[in-house]
Amino acid sequence: MKALSRIDYFGIEIFGVEVFSTDGEFLDVEVQEMNNGEWVKPFIKKWENRPDALFSASYGVPERLLELFSN
C-alpha cells in the first residue's frame, strides 16, 4: 500500500489496473479513464489477502513532475 500513498502525494492519475498471479494467470482488470482515482484503493484492497497477486497499471504523471525530472 506504500505505492498507493505515493499516488496521492504526487498526484499520479491511475487509468487502469490489471491483476495477475505470480504464475501468470490473469485475475482481474479495472479501467476508469477520466476519473478522480477514488476507485483505485478499494480495487487493490480486494486483493490484499492474495499474496501471489501482482499489479500492472496505466497511469498519467502531472506535467510539473515531468518538468522536475527532465533535466
| Domain membership of residue 60 as a residue range | 2-68
Residue 19: name the closest of 46, 1, 59, 37 by CA.
Answer: 46
Kindly give, in sequence order, each residue whose CB lies less than 8 Å from that of residue 5, ignoring residues fewer than 6 positions away. Answer: none
Global pTM value: 0.81
Number of domains in the chain: 1
Kindly give, in sequence order, each residue whose CB lies less than 8 Å from that of residue 10, ignoring residues fewer than 6 positions away. Answer: 61, 62, 65
Categorize the per-residue pLDDT at 4 as very low, low, confident or very high, splitting at 50, 70 and 90. Answer: confident
Give the C-alpha separation, 61 to 59, whole Å.
7
Residue bearing the bigger pLDDT, 9 or 53? 53
